[in-house]
Amino acid sequence: MTKPISVQLYTVRDALAADRDTVLSRIAEIGYRSVEPYDPTTDPKGFREVVDDLGLTVSSTHAYALLSKDPSEVFDAIATVGTDLVIIPGGIEHEEFTTRDGLSRTADLLNGFAEQAARYGMRIGYHNHWWEIEPEIDGRHAIEALADLLAPEVFLEIDTYWAAVGGADVPALLGRLSDRVLALHVKDGPVVKGEPHTAVGRGVMAVPEILDAAPDAWRIVELDECATDIFAALADSHAYLTSLEGS
């Protein structure tokens, strides 16, 4: 069964802060059937009630809070929100991805969180930006060298856009990482740091080839910044990805 298309709620962070329930309703009206929160510790019970009422599932969640809060508090919130895929979306010094020692420390951190997550029936993942891609360790992107050091249960959420910005051939990277990748951030744009993103299908990313390289991964739309109306961009992205599923 094909996983429903999800959306990272950081995309609508400003509107969400102003009126969470209306924003989630608009996302459901567009046709999304799943969402990925970026802070599960903010009113997890109320959030769960709204998504349940709207018929939405929670594909996964970012959990930056694990780096600063009591992990048990964070995992309890995630259990309430309703997902078992917990993703560290950064917060680790960029320099750690430039040396083997740094990668070892990063792997130890993620593997430690994975042991804690397992007690809750959850898995830990890591989400990349460009700084885990640009450095090379023995001729491979740092994210690949990191993957070798991770416990088998630790997965990756590959942000396909930032991987491209970092210089990766994204379909080839996904092929090498293989079943380590459980989720993709699908975004589009000019592939230039500091430039706004576009609706998926409106930029230069080779989206069909990227999706074909990880056919079983969650597709999670995210637009960090967008020069057009964000809800229109989300609707266009959903329509484009839906059209690919039918082709």
Order across the sheet with 6-8: list the strands.
Answer: 57-58, 34-36, 6-8, 218-221, 181-186, 155-159, 123-127, 85-88, 61-62
pLDDT at residue 19 greater than cutoff 50: yes
| Segment 93-116, tens digit of pLDDT | 999 999 999 999 999 999 999 999
Q: Please say whether the dihedral angle defined by the alpha carbons of residues 108, 113, 117 and 123, taken in this order, is positive or negative.
A: negative
Between helices 44-54 and 71-81, what is the axis angle to 10°?
20
Mean pLDDT of the chain: 97
Which residues on adjacent β-strands are paired with residue 38? Answer: none
| Mean per-residue pLDDT, 66-84 | 96
Model confidence pLDDT, tens digit, residues 133-160: 999 999 999 999 999 999 999 999 999 9
* pTM over cut 0.95: yes
**From its phi and psi, is residue 138 left (phi > 0), alpha (psi between -120 and 50) or beta?**
left
Tokens 């997550």 appear where? 117
CA distance 234 to 218: 16
CA dist 3 and 218 (Å) reads 6
* 21-56 pLDDT, tens digit each: 999 999 999 999 999 999 999 999 999 999 999 999
Report the percentage of the chain scoring pLDDT > 70. 99
Which whole number is the average pLDDT over 196-203?
97
Distance (Å, whole) CA 124 – CA 114: 5
Note the pLDDT of residue 167. 97
The rounded percent of the chain whose pLDDT value lies above 90 is 98
- Give me the mean pLDDT over the 77-96 stretch: 97
Whether the pLDDT of residue 246 is over 90: the answer is no
